[in-house]
Chains A and B, each alone.
Chain A
Amino acid sequence: MYAKGLKSLSIASVVAVAAALALVFFYAPLDADQGFVQKIFYVHVPMAIVALCGFVAGGLMAIKHLRSGDRTWDMRSYVAIHLSIILGVGVLATGAIWAKASWGHWWVWDEPVLVSFLVVFLLYCVYYPLRFSIDDPERQARYSSVFAIAAGAFVPLNFAAVRMAESFTHPRVLSQTGGDLPGQMRLTFLACLLAMALLFVTLWKLELTSKNASMQLKRLRAKLLAEADARAAA
């Protein structure tokens, strides 16, 4: 079901990533203040944006799951959140590297987007223990969906709150997460964003295909066992 289009999507992703990397290293100008390390911004920010979209998408898919009762939506939601959490680790790591390069510390509280991302990440980390501590599969899926929806609604609220707080205590340090990028940087940034998004969707489809296949395998195995049982009893 998911394998359709997976090949072309993978190829597109590889091409996009290659193109983006090329732009980052050969096209984008060197930043005057921060130098080469600034280029990590091209990984850090797209990763953050895609991860956040992944979380919100997970929440939307969870809504579909609850309303339709169709568990494939829960699986889609799970994979989206799962991948976003992994990306989240990357966001925090690259964020720390960037912070060290820009401000000399491995972590700073000045950047409201990074700070709220930390809180969101901490929240979503609870997704795994919550999910896997419920034994009944149907209930597990339902409760995970409720969590995904609550957490998804939480993301924008959290960002608003942290931004309000930080703008109060720390005057906003100009960060290049906004739209005021000079032309070359903007193009590189958009290319990286596209590449990251394609990569995410490809990995999402890939994991779903693999999960689907192993589920079908399990089902067939159970069916064979049941038939063997019935024949033995008869």
Chain B
Amino acid sequence: MTAIELDGLERRYGERVALAGVSARVEAGQTLAVLGANGAGKTTLLRVLAGLLRPHAGMARVLGAELPAETWKLHGRVGFLGHEPLLYRELSGRENLAYHARLHRLNGSRVEEALAAVGMDRRADEPLRELSRGMVQRLAAARAVLHEPPLLLLDEPHAGLDPAAAELLEPLIGRASGRTRVLVTHDVEGALAEADVALGLKGGRQQFAGRPPDAERVRELYR
């Protein structure tokens, strides 16, 4: 089953091009690495795939939902781990996850499992503003997969994480999770090693998409 199908996807910001000519195909369970310099449009693409931004032209089908007409079909089926943890600093890890569980109509027991899975069960009742960046990131990852989404959208998921924590999250958000993943990262070597499909953006325009190319082509994105 094809998880993501894009053809000539475009998104403008007024007269400026944010995304143009984006075409790719990702099968279920595959990993798509999105590469490019800062401001190339990687985060925009991620938000379009999440249904948070609407495409202005071209075709986009995510998990069988035509965007933008059927965006509502994506609700609750995407796990989004972006730059913002999407958690409230004044609330504790447990309270934050319980809130999200209720929004997604999940059983409360999932919260405890999630806390244990990211190793935060002992500090689950401390407000987030007292926790380190790495701990908050772990809780954010827990939030992203709480509802067991078939599609994961990850924007630099290992930012702020030490190697031990990164390893802890592997079964949740890594290749081992078996979910379809779209990964935005500056770790080019790591991404190319993991990716089934790679997409390169420069100034919003797609430079390549398909089997991961050699390092030279990737470096061109950053010039």
Contact = CB atoms under 8 A, between A and B. Distances in A.
Interface of A: 136-138, 218, 222, 226
Nearest to B20: A226
A185 to B, nearest CB: 51
Contact of A218 (B13, B15, B17): B15
The 4 tightest CB contacts between A and B, nearest first, are: A137-B14, A222-B15, A218-B15, A136-B13
Given A136-B13, A136-B14, A137-B13, 5 more contacts: A137-B14, A138-B54, A218-B15, A222-B15, A226-B17
The interface residues of chain B, by DSSP majority, are classed as loop
5 contacts: A137-B13, A138-B54, A218-B15, A222-B15, A226-B17
Interface residues of B, number: 5
A137 B121 CA distance: 44
Contacts of B17: 226
A138 B14 CA distance: 8
Contacts of A226: 17
A218 B12 CA distance: 14
A75 to B, nearest CB: 15
Interface in B1-27: 13-15, 17
Contacts of A218: 15
B188 to A, nearest CB: 22
A129 B10 CA distance: 29
Interface string B46-57: 000000001000
Contacts of B54: 138
Contacts of A138: 54
B122 to A, nearest CB: 43
B12 to A, nearest CB: 8
B43 to A, nearest CB: 15
A138 B17 CA distance: 14
B10 to A, nearest CB: 11
A138 B54 CA distance: 10
Contacts of A136: 13-14
A222 B10 CA distance: 15
A226 B10 CA distance: 14
A56 B15 CA distance: 31
A131 to B, nearest CB: 14
Interface in B69-93: none
A222 B13 CA distance: 13
Nearest to B16: A222
Nearest to B54: A138
A222 B14 CA distance: 11
Nearest to A140: B14
A226 B15 CA distance: 11
Contacts of B15: 218, 222
A137 B18 CA distance: 13
Nearest to B12: A137
